[in-house]
């Protein structure tokens, strides 16, 4: 059904994961039924949603056929077991994140990252701010990490409380946060900072571990971890943030499952407002199974694998003059000293529209994202093509992608670097 294009030749030999790591990855890939069941397709859109291993699917089926019931609303065995599973998953989340103080923190389940960030904004932040306070939030990351904070500003304004929302400053070349400029903002009445762990367009680790020393010991920091949980190890003790928000479906759990981890150290206690109805029990069960699977696979190895595939892709794209890779221009080559892309590479063809490139790739069985990528107002204004890799992807799929892109570009494979 799908044509195969010869891999793009490289000189020197292609970059990518080591041979030893390939032996580790091969049996893991076999655990994804949707991947092995469609050998002609290469799924390259894991930043949108990750595929689910058999262990997650089995856990959900076992729950739905064994003890499906509502939580906290019954005294019979199935209801009690469901309630226990939810509480156990809260503790599992804390352990997976490396919670330094699990007795003090809390875990709340939401529908995803967007709902989680909005809950922090509406149900916590608006209670914490006073007239004249200032916050810093990213205007060039995902829209979900901007609109909730603007909504909080507007809610406060309706009550006569005026706050200042500062755009997070960025370095022009690297697209990293500009910490020197952030330090200048911290000299005012800074009361809250929102940051992104891994950028959903540039694939860059935004070095949020350095934010705490810049803003000081008392300012709460909220971390959007949608593109990092399940992709790389997290160490909350090192990050020293107050909220971590992520989507379960991007971490191999079912859709409609999200998490807000609240540290409970700076500011008032976090508790979502309103009546807490029936939780997404099957989704929560899937999240626990997904975290177990990820822990067993090893987040550090997953990161090494996906970063290696990203290096292979950026190194190949840098040899094709027809493409512009978004993000830090110094991180394209395999021998780059600043390679920080977490298996997520976004690019544009210089003359062919992103949607058209996406259609061409789909016709060759290469499933990528091609649109505006939910960028906030100060982000990229044009559509682009995003390739996001996970543990089930292979170097051969990357080479196949580069081969199609080379043909589409009309470039001579292995040509000069831009």
Task: Indicate whether 384 pLDDT > 90.
Answer: yes
pLDDT band at 174 (very low <50, low <70, confident <90, very high): confident
**Inter-axis angle of helices 113-120 and 147-158, nearest 10:** 30
Cα(359)–Cα(346) distance, rounded to whole angstroms? 16
Task: Indicate whether 414 pLDDT > 50.
Answer: no
Over residues 28-44, mean pLDDT: 97
pLDDT band at 339 (very low <50, low <70, confident <90, very high): low
- As a whole number of Å, the CA-based R_g of the chain is 22
Q: Are 144 and 113 in contact (CB under 8 A)?
A: yes
Over residues 377-391, mean pLDDT: 90
Over residues 212-228, mean pLDDT: 96
**Inter-axis angle of helices 281-297 and 77-97, nearest 10:** 40
Angle of CA points 27, 51, 224, to nearest 5°: 120
Task: Indicate whether 214 pLDDT > 90.
Answer: yes
Summary mean pLDDT of the chain: 91
Phi/psi at 116 (nearest 5 deg)? -65, -45
pLDDT band at 378 (very low <50, low <70, confident <90, very high): confident
pLDDT score, position 9: 40
Over residues 137-148, mean pLDDT: 96
Higher local confidence (pLDDT), 409 or 147: 147
Higher local confidence (pLDDT), 374 or 387: 387
pLDDT score, position 340: 66
pLDDT score, position 14: 64
Distance of CA 193 to the CA centre of its chain: 18
| Least trusted range by pLDDT, from 23-27, 87-91, 147-151, 326-330 | 326-330
pLDDT score, position 331: 74
pTM of the model: 0.92
pLDDT score, position 137: 98
Task: Indicate whether 418 pLDDT > 70.
Answer: no
| Partner residues linked to 109 by β-bridges | 259
pLDDT band at 127 (very low <50, low <70, confident <90, very high): very high
Angle of CA points 60, 36, 285, to nearest 5°: 15
pLDDT score, position 10: 41
Cα(164)–Cα(349) distance, rounded to whole angstroms? 39
Over residues 196-221, mean pLDDT: 94
Cis peptide before 221 (omega within 30 of 0): no
Over residues 390-403, mean pLDDT: 97
Cα(383)–Cα(355) distance, rounded to whole angstroms? 8
Over residues 348-353, mean pLDDT: 94
Q: Are 184 and 358 in contact (CB under 8 A)?
A: no
pLDDT score, position 158: 97
pLDDT band at 19 (very low <50, low <70, confident <90, very high): confident
Highest mean pLDDT among 17-21, 33-37, 70-74: 33-37
Task: Indicate whether 416 pLDDT > 70.
Answer: no
Over residues 14-19, mean pLDDT: 74
Task: Indicate whether 341 pLDDT > 90.
Answer: no
| Least trusted range by pLDDT, from 109-118, 187-196, 287-296, 331-340 | 331-340
């Amino acid at each position: 059904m799908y044509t195969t294009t010869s891999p793009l030749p490289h000189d020197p030999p292609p970059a990518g994961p080591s041979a030893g790591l390939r032996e580790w990855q091969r049996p893991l890939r076999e655990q994804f039924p949707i991947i092995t069941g469609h050998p002609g397709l290469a799924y390259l859109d894991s930043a949108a949603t990750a595929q689910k291993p058999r262990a997650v699917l089995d856990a959900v089926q076992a729950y739905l056929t064994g003890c499906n019931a509502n939580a906290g609303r019954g005294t019979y065995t199935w209801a009690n077991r469901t309630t226990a599973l939810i509480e156990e998953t809260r503790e599992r989340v804390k352990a997976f994140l490396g919670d330094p103080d699990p007795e003090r923190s809390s875990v709340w389940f939401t529908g995803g990252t967007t709902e989680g960030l909005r809950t922090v904004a509406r149900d916590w932040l608006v209670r914490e701010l006073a007239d004249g306070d200032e916050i810093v939030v990213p205007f060039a990351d995902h829209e979900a990490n901007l609109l909730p904070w603007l909504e909080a500003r507007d809610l406060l304004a309706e009550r006569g409380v005026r706050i200042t929302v500062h755009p997070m400053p960025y370095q022009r070349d690297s697209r990293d946060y500009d910490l020197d400029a952030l330090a200048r903002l911290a000299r005012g009445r800074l009361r809250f900072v929102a940051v992104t762990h891994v950028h959903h367009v540039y694939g860059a680790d935004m070095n949020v571990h350095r934010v705490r020393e810049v803003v000081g010991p008392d300012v709460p920091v909220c971390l959007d971890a949608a593109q990092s949980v399940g992709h790389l190890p997290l160490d909350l003790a090192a990050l020293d943030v107050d909220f971590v928000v992520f989507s379960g479906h991007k971490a191999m759990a079912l859709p409609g499952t999200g998490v807000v981890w609240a540290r409970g150290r700076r500011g008032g206690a976090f508790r979502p407002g309103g009546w807490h109805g029936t939780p997404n029990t099957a989704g929560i069960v899937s999240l626990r199974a997904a975290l177990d699977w990820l822990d067993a696979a090893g987040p550090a190895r997953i990161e090494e694998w996906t970063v290696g595939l990203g290096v292979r892709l950026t190194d190949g794209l840098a040899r094709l003059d027809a493409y512009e890779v978004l993000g830090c221009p110094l991180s394209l080559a395999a021998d780059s000293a600043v390679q920080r892309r977490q298996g997520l590479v976004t690019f544009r063809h210089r003359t062919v529209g992103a949607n058209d490139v996406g259609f061409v790739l789909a016709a060759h069985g290469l499933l990528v994202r091609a649109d505006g990528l939910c960028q906030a107002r100060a982000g990229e204004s044009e559509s682009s093509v995003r390739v996001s890799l996970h543990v089930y992807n292979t170097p051969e799929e990357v080479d196949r992608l580069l081969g199609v892109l080379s043909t589409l570009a009309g470039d001579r494979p292995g040509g000069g670097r831009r």
